[in-house]
Structures are given as C-alpha cells and as structure tokens.
Amino acid sequence: MLAGSKRFLMSFMLLVASVASLAAEPKSALDGFVERLGGTTTLTADFSQTVTDAQGQQLQAVTGHLALATPGKLRWETAPPFQQLVVSDGEVLWVFDEDLEQVTIRNLEMKVQETPALLLSGKADEVASNFDVERFSRNGLMVYRLTPKDHSQLFTALEFGYNGNDLQEMRIMDATGQLTLIKLNNVERNVKLDRMAFVFDVPEGADVIDARTEF
C-alpha cells in the first residue's frame, strides 16, 4: 500500500508555535503520545503514501482512504492503478487484491510490535513495554518517534506527526534504509462510523487463501 505525496505548506510562525508548544508541554514523550492515542476512538482520512529507497528514489506511490476504530478495526482502500482493500473487524484481517481477484484471510495479530497499525486502533497500553519514545519538532509538526526495543523487528523506527491532536503523517523506516511516508488529509476524529465499513464479504469468483490458525 503505497502513495503519491503532498507536502504540507507551513509558515515560520507555525514552526515557532510548534517549538514553543513542544517546550511548554510538561508530559514525557511517552505520556504525550499515549494521551493522543487514547483521545482518538475513530479516525477517517484520505491518504497519500510513497515508498523510497535508501538513495531517495521513489519505488511506488498510491492514494486512498482509511478508517480506524478501537479496538483493532481498520479499513484501508487504495485507488487505481494499485487497487487493494484491507479490512479488519478486530479479530480477522482480509486483504483483497482486485487485479488478482484474490482474497487472503488471516488472524489479526494483536501484538503491537508485530502490527504497528494497532497503535492507532486501541493498543496504546503496549507502547511503553515495546518501544522507546522520543519527541521533537519537524516542519511544524510535533513528532513522536518510536524505536522498537526488540531489534529483530522488520522496522527500525516509526514516527507519528501531529498538528495539535490531529495526526498528519506517519513514517516507517526499515533496516535497508527504505522509507514509507503516509500523509493524511481531510482528517476527522471521533465521528460515528458505519460498522459495516469493517465487515468484508468475499466477492463471488475470487480465489481465497485462508491463512488463519486455530488457537
């Protein structure tokens, strides 16, 4: 899931205000991040996502729409030409590749260190045990960088950039130097969402790969 990127316009005053806010905030970086997560029960946004390699060359880009709800519910849909739909009801995860007419079904891994997206959908209580958290200002945003305590993870760092309490961007860095940048627009927090957004019906004729495990 990848996407075209859009740079945020910002002014010198916005940058100064962000730095001042950062300096004035008495909470630790961990407490500030967990507070922001805990204050969001639902989130919808349009997104653009780009993936670049260690040399800064763009590998792929997509746009789309996402919806999140606690606990563990997700709907992530990318636009043509890379159409893909990912849906989670909090227990099961469906990935539908429209071009391949293929659906993969698996259990939702509820360990936040293995599924970072769960940080945005109800696993804030696991942040302290799985990540070191630092905070800094960049491009007018308050950024929280999470570094996994388990160095065997596929990613080396996660970053969440906020304008106030509104999430504006996410970055995922891996050991190869690859960077995934996700920018959010038209963000709405804590609005009522249709529960059917987190239900997936397998399209007729689609190939199904059921990778669920029994517990």
Each residue's pLDDT tens digit, 158-206: 999 999 888 999 999 988 999 999 999 999 999 999 999 999 999 999 9
Tell me, what's the pLDDT at 39? 83
Question: Beta-carbon neighbour count of residue 22 at 10 Å?
Answer: 15
First to last CA, the chain: 29
Of residues 67 and 108, more confidence is placed in 67
Structure tokens, 49: 């996502």
Q: What single string gives the DSSP state of each residue in 79-140? A: PTTS-EEEEEESSEEEEEETTTTEEEEEE----TTT-GGGGGTT-GGGHHHHEEEEEEEETT
Tell me, what's the pLDDT at 18? 35
Domain 12-210 has CATH 2.60.40.290: no
Of residues 130 and 11, more confidence is placed in 130
d(CA 113, CA 144): 16
pLDDT band at 123 (very low <50, low <70, confident <90, very high): low
5, pLDDT greater than 50 = no
Note the residue count of the chain. Answer: 215
Of residues 130 and 20, more confidence is placed in 130
Of residues 141 and 152, more confidence is placed in 141
Nearest in space to 78 (alpha carbons), one of 95, 93, 91, 92: 95
Asked if 41 contacts 85 with a C-beta cutoff of 8 angstroms, the reply is: no
Asked if 176 contacts 54 with a C-beta cutoff of 8 angstroms, the reply is: yes
16, pLDDT greater than 50 = no
Tell me, what's the pLDDT at 166? 87
Amino acid at 199: V
Structure tokens, 91: 């227990």
Instruction: Give φ, ψ of 181 to 5 degrees.
Output: -115, 125
116, pLDDT greater than 80 = no
